[in-house]
A and B are shown apart, each in its own frame.
Chain A
Amino acid sequence: NAGVTQTPKFQVLKTGQSMTLQCAQDMNHNSMYWYRQDPGMGLRLIYYSASEGTTDKGEVPNGYNVSRLNKREFSLRLESAAPSQTSVYFCASSERYSLYYGYTFGSGTRLTVV
Chain B
Amino acid sequence: TQLLEQSPQFLSIQEGENLTVYCNSSSVFSSLQWYRQEPGEGPVLLVTVVTGGEVKKLKRLTFQFGDARKDSSLHITAAQTGDTGLYLCAGAGNFNKFYFGSGTKLNVKP
In the complex, A102 has a CB within 8 A of chain B: yes
Whether A90 contacts B42 in the complex (CB less than 8 A), given A98-B96, A99-B48, comes out as yes
Whether A43 contacts B31 in the complex (CB less than 8 A), given A4-B42, A107-B40, A108-B41, comes out as no
Instruction: Collect the chain B residues with CB atoms within 8 Å of residue A98's CB.
Output: 92, 96
Instruction: Collect the chain B residues with CB atoms within 8 Å of residue A90's CB.
Output: 42-43
Instruction: Collect the chain B residues with CB atoms within 8 Å of residue A42's CB.
Output: 2, 4, 88, 100-103
In the complex, B44 has a CB within 8 A of chain A: yes
| Interface range on chain B (Cβ under 8 Å from partner) | 20 to 34
> Could you tell me if A97 and B48 are in contact, using CB atoms closer than 8 angstroms?
no
Instruction: Collect the chain B residues with CB atoms within 8 Å of residue A105's CB.
Output: 42-44
Within the complex, what minimum Cβ distance (angstroms) separates A86 from chain B? 17
How many contacts A-B (CB < 8 Å)? 55
> Could you tell me if A102 and B42 are in contact, using CB atoms closer than 8 angstroms?
no
> Could you tell me if B88 and A99 are in contact, using CB atoms closer than 8 angstroms?
no
Q: Which residue of the partner chain B has the closest CB to A39? A: B102
Instruction: Collect the chain A residues with CB atoms within 8 Å of residue B35's CB.
Output: 103
Whether A99 contacts B2 in the complex (CB less than 8 A), given A45-B98, A105-B43, A108-B40, comes out as no
User: B86-102 vs A: 1/0 string, CB under 8 Å?
Assistant: 00101110001010111
In the complex, A41 has a CB within 8 A of chain B: yes
> Could you tell me if B31 and A41 are in contact, using CB atoms closer than 8 angstroms?
no
Whether A99 contacts B92 in the complex (CB less than 8 A), given A42-B2, A42-B100, A45-B98, comes out as yes
User: Cα distance A98–B48 when bound, in Å?
Assistant: 12
User: A13-56 vs B: 1/0 string, CB under 8 Å?
Assistant: 00000000000000000000001000011111100000000000
Instruction: Collect the chain A residues with CB atoms within 8 Å of residue B43's CB.
Output: 43, 90, 103, 105
In the complex, B33 has a CB within 8 A of chain A: yes
User: Cα distance A92–B102 when bound, in Å?
Assistant: 17
> Could you tell me if A99 and B42 are in contact, using CB atoms closer than 8 angstroms?
no
Within 8 A of B (CB), among A45-90: 45, 90
Chain B residues close to A by CB (< 8 Å):
2, 4, 30-33, 35, 40-45, 48, 50, 88, 90-92, 96, 98, 100-103
